[in-house]
Amino acid sequence: MVDEAHDAVVMRRDVQFADHDGTKLLGDFYLPKGAGKAPVLIAIHGGGWQHHSRPTYRYWGPYFAKHGIAVFEIGYRTSKAGIYPRAVYDVKSAIQFVRANAAEYSIDPERIGLIGDSAGGHLAALLSLAADQYINDAEEPNRGVSADVKVSICFYGIYDMLAQWTYDQLARPADQITEKFLNVAPMADRRIYFEASPISYATIGRTKTKFLLIHGSEDDLVDPAQSKKFWLALNQARLHSRRIVIPGAGHYWNSEPFEDNPHSIAAGVAPRILEFLARAF
């Protein structure tokens, strides 16, 4: 574990939050310098559940920390076919670790949120709605700790696994990410597609989490209709949700630098996220 300090931000790199099946799971903290009991966002990278891309939030981490919000950017198990539900267990463990160790990192255990993009958006939404449905049989030090979160921010997330599988046939026929993740085609097992879909859990009284869904109108990897349908399902279930649609935007843009680039997509979205968090946290 390495500590670094940059202006108003303290970084703690390679913090181990779990050990699952011999895989040490690590994350990087971006902490507001001198802040007491800061809210925190656990950041979950995308990559089709296949690729390690923990530095996705290297620009968001300092940005939020300078505004008094800690970020814990995590890795999770990827690559192997059928990684579901292990990736879900990994994210849940990160939430429990942060809550159990909040005092050490000057974090408010009652103000924990998730932020994720694409496949990471899927995991953020799923854990926000259905963490109680995913119980890891392995003995863990924080197993009994609550995995509830106050906010869930999802960039172009995947919320309906069957809809994504259908979209994959056209958008990425050589890389069937949904089928790889679940390790089965829907023709063989439709139940698992329903079980792994955040939209399946958008029901009345399911959670108090507040959602912010952000996506572009021209996304060619995740159908923008998914975000709209999920947003409508959350509203129908009387769950708090907001949606930001960016005209002309596609996929991947949230990993680009933005503080020194006022014309970037993220630069236009960042203040709106802070406004949402000021009310939701």
Cα four-point dihedral sign 245, 246, 248, 251: negative
Q: Which of 77-91, 192-206, 254-268 comes out lowest in average pLDDT?
A: 77-91
Chain segment 213-229, per-residue pLDDT in tens: 999 999 999 999 999 99
pLDDT value of residue 89: 96
More confident residue, 54 or 280: 280
pLDDT value of residue 184: 95
How large is the C-alpha radius of gyration of the chain? 18
Q: Cα–Cα distance between 38 and 57 in angstroms, integer?
A: 18
pLDDT value of residue 4: 59
- Is the pLDDT assigned to residue 103 strictly greater than 90? yes
Q: Parse the chain into domains and list their residue ranges.
A: 2-254
Chain segment 108-156, per-residue pLDDT in tens: 999 999 999 999 999 999 999 999 999 987 778 898 999 999 999 999 9
pLDDT value of residue 5: 54
Structure tokens at 198: 């955040």
Closest CA to 41 of 18, 20, 57, 24: 57
Chain segment 232-242, per-residue pLDDT in tens: 999 999 999 99
Q: Cα–Cα distance between 168 and 248 in angstroms, integer?
A: 21
The length of the chain is: 281
C-alpha count within 13 angstroms, C-beta hemisphere, residue 36: 0
Task: Of 17-26, 135-144, 195-204, give the range with the top mean pLDDT.
Answer: 195-204
CATH number for domain 2-254, candidates 3.10.20.90, 1.10.1370.30, 3.40.50.300, 3.40.50.1820? 3.40.50.1820
pLDDT value of residue 6: 64
Sequence-separated (6 or more) residues with CB below 8 Å from residue 226: 157, 158, 159, 160, 163, 164
Our measurement of the distance from residue 169's CA atom to the centroid of its chain's CA atoms, rounded to an integer in Å, reads 25
Q: Cα–Cα distance between 126 and 111 in angstroms, integer?
A: 18
pLDDT band at 1 (very low <50, low <70, confident <90, very high): low
- SS (HEC) of the chain: CEEEEECCEEEEEEEEEEEECCEEEEEEEEEECCCCCEEEEEEECCCCCCCCCHHHHCCHHHHHHHCCCEEEEECCCCCCCCCCCHHHHHHHHHHHHHHHCCHHHCEEEEEEEEEEECHHHHHHHHHHHHHHHCCCCCCCCCCCCCCCCCEEEEECCCCCHHHHHHHHHHHCCCCCHHHHHHCCCCCCCHHHHHHCCHHHHCCCCCCCCEEEEEEECCCCCCCHHHHHHHHHHHHHCCCCEEEEEECCCCCCHHHCCCCCCCCCHHHHHHHHHHHHHHHHC
- Is the pLDDT assigned to residue 64 strictly greater than 90? yes
